[in-house]
Structure 1
Amino acid sequence: MKPEDTAVVVVEPAPVPVVRQHNAITQARYDYTACQLDIFFYLLSRLRRDDTPDQEYTIYVKDVEALTGRQWNYQQLREATADMGSRMFEVENERTYQQLWMFQRVEYIKGKGCLQIQLAAPIRPFLFNLKENFTSYQLHSALKLSSKYAKRIYQLVSQWKDKASTRTYPLDEFKQMLHLKDPKGKEPELFQNISQLKARVLDIAVRQVSEHTDLKIDYELVKKGRAYDAVRFTIARQHPQQLPIPFEQPAEDARAFAARQHLDTLGITQPQLVATILGDPKHLDQLFKFTYQLKTDKVKATKNPGGLFLKICGLR
């Protein structure tokens, strides 16, 4: 394992409110790709308090694609989980430190379009702690964000969602958390110019989080002398623009719920048609595929996309 893959987190001994507990996964320095963050947030959504220690979590690739509007192939997913599994999180307090890894096992089921993940037992409490900072809607929103920096910043600001602003992050600390700066100086620093940091990270994150989530955010750069030294985010709650995916339900129910939303968007509301589509696995697969292609402009149907989908399914 490379030393630079280690994430060091110091847990402060003083008690703090639960919503802002010093969480190893949120505060750690790591550089997850968009694909890895999609896996991470979707996996987080499947956690239940009554899960057994050896619980296996099944992730269907098409479900993630339908939620995110992005397409991942098996090779990308294998590389993503392999890299995630190799990352070490180090959690330190006054007496001890722990070295933690994410996965106990990842299994790809050939021909099924799914993977099964078993979490390493020691990291489970940290993941549950992190999940408590998110509602179902927020997890759904996180999957909708396309920028990996927007996803990470959304994690940070969600810890402060009951306040008007976050704490002030020194720029060095903030950059290290987003893997823009190596604390050991072995890797070149990204976006050293403040205008680059604003354009490539902060402005994009603020726009995406404010457009797609329950939080409207902005940022303030703080000067020390003549140079910018820190950043903090202002936060305001806003009414969700879309219904959340009910992650508390079993995976099959959540999939059906997502399918109903897609059908409603396509204008397909006739009860008999809806029942026919929901009751046929092939139609469901076609629905998620069609929705993805429609979002990515691979299908052109500006006038009547619902009619085109029904024609593809042989229902019209």
Structure 2
Amino acid sequence: MKDHIGIPLKKPNKIVTQSNSLINSCFDIPTVQLRAFLYSLGHINKEDKELTHVKIPIDVLHASKGGKNYKQVKKLVSELQEIKFKIESFFTNKDGIEKKAYRSMVIFPTVDYTEDNRYLITKINSDLAPFLLDLKGNYTQAELEQLLSLKTIQAYRIYMFIKQELFKKKPEPIKYKHLRLMLGLDIELEEDEVKKVDKITFKPNTDLFGEIPSALPPIPNVKVVKYPLFAEFKRRILDTAKAELANTEMAFNYKLKKKGRNVDTITFELIKTVPIQAPSEEKLAKTSELPDEWKRPMERMLEYGLTEKQATYIIERVPIARIKEDLNPVLYRINAEINSGDHSKLKRTKGQHSVIIIKEVLGIKYNLWQKEQSE
């Protein structure tokens, strides 16, 4: 244990990788515990052969910082050891019939914490190694900073679900019932558990005619944990995630398909981004001299029609620490509006539209903007 406590604090990688089987597994965990898992993923390297201990600052797990969070460390440690993934796989039985199999695994078997309550020291369960190490295919990567910034588990789950579908020709619908299981809103019961459950355990509110108003119909081997009514599921899961991801690269819409009165499938459709041409070698040479945090925003501003002087002016006035909070949402908005043709409706070029939005949102006052707007 002493060796674990003394491990150095390391900066996590910018990109995290995990198997799609893990992404599609069944779990529902609080945001703080999710961040602990994601931060641990950030310490896995491509060449690693085994999972190792990670030192996690308590501060990275909370949106706000302060002593009140440190007082909750003991509770957090206990909760981390209760979080499980339920991963689905398939096998062929002796009769040649394909059957489902499930493996339930605790994420963090042991968690240590320092006397000052500033750090956690833990290691992801070694049984999860096949889903995190030496992945040859069927995996998805994402930016750790973006994932840590998400405020809800539903936004994270849908973000990763959409991201793993990006390279398919078209988005595939997911069964509403299956999505509920993935999100931990329903739990599949074992045969012995089904026998113990009273036949009348599912009693959603009925309308004046005694009918269930768009509720999930009861399934014999499934226990409903949260949000049995679809209207509630839509509001708390779909619409909450949609609003939170609106200013990210995974901004989405969704389509519902019904079977009778009940929702059968949900299709998540990524809001298309503007087709972007690669910057010229001259522009790349100039942006390569910038800090890593500024390279991509600078390239985007040039791609959206800003002049080099205009983009440089912004760089000089927006601190690197504020890129994510202040600038990136503006760039995502520009991307979405250009893609939907808003600039054409207003009879603007892409460059003019980009300049006007940045000027309004960031409060830019500079005569270089006039030239772009008048062209």
Q: TM-score, normalised by structure 2?
A: 0.51
Contact kept, 8 Å, 1:218 with 1:234, in 2: the verdict is yes
CA distance in 2, matches of 1:121, 1:55: 9
SS of the equivalent of 2:127 reads: helix
Shift of 1:238: 4.5
- Show the counterpart of 1:155: 160
CA distance in 2, matches of 1:167, 1:111: 48
2:129 to 116, 124, 140: 124
Cα deviation digits, residues 120-149 of structure 1 (max 9, x gap): 32312313459951232xx22221111221
Q: Superposed, which structure 2 residues align to 1:147-296 within 5 Å?
A: 147-163=152-168, 165-184=170-189, 187-211=223-247, 213-236=248-271, 238=273, 261-262=320-321
- Show the counterpart of 1:135: 142
- Show the counterpart of 1:15: none
2:89 to 66, 88, 92: 92
Q: Which has the higher contact order (CA 8 A, sep 6+)?
A: 1
CA distance in 2, matches of 1:172, 1:265: 35
2:46 to 40, 45, 49: 49
Cα 1:90–1:226 change in 2 (3 A) is closer
Contact kept, 8 Å, 1:91 with 1:98, in 2: the verdict is yes
Amino acid at match of 1:94: F
Cα 1:50–1:199 change in 2 (3 A) is same
Cα deviation digits, residues 32-53 of structure 1 (max 9, x gap): 1111111122222221123352
After the TM superposition, list the runs of 4 or more consecutive aligned residues in structure 1 that deviate by more than 6 angstroms: 263-266
Shift of 1:169: 1.1
SS of the equivalent of 2:178 reads: helix
Shift of 1:244: 6.2
- Show the counterpart of 2:118: 113
Contact kept, 8 Å, 1:164 with 1:234, in 2: the verdict is no
Amino acid at match of 2:142: T
The alignment of Structure 1 onto Structure 2 pairs a total of residues equal to 225
Shift of 1:104: 4.7
CA distance in 1, matches of 2:126, 2:110: 11
Amino acid at match of 2:227: F
Cα 1:28–1:120 change in 2 (3 A) is same
CA distance in 2, matches of 1:265, 1:120: 32
CA distance in 2, matches of 1:115, 1:224: 48
Cα deviation digits, residues 104-132 of structure 1 (max 9, x gap): 53221222611111223231231345995
Shift of 1:234: 0.1
Contact kept, 8 Å, 1:165 with 1:235, in 2: the verdict is no
Cα 1:99–1:177 change in 2 (3 A) is closer
Q: Superposed, which structure 2 residues align to 1:35-46 within 5 Å?
A: 35-46=32-43
Shift of 1:171: 1.0
Q: Which has the higher helix share?
A: 1
Amino acid at match of 2:185: L
Shift of 1:236: 3.4
Amino acid at match of 2:30: T
SS of the equivalent of 1:134 reads: strand
Cα deviation digits, residues 189-223 of structure 1 (max 9, x gap): 42222221211110110111122x22221111111
SS of the equivalent of 1:215 reads: coil
Contact kept, 8 Å, 2:86 with 2:102, in 1: the verdict is no
- Show the counterpart of 2:26: 29
CA distance in 2, matches of 1:198, 1:121: 36
Shift of 1:75: 3.0
Unmatched tracts of structure 1, length 5 or more: 1-18, 246-259, 267-316
- Show the counterpart of 2:368: none
Shift of 1:69: 4.6
CA distance in 2, matches of 1:54, 1:127: 9
Contact kept, 8 Å, 2:82 with 2:106, in 1: the verdict is no
Unmatched tracts of structure 2, length 5 or more: 1-16, 93-100, 190-220, 275-291, 295-318, 326-375
Shift of 1:232: 1.1
CA RMSD of aligned residues (A): 3.6
CA distance in 2, matches of 1:210, 1:47: 29
CA distance in 1, matches of 2:41, 2:272: 22
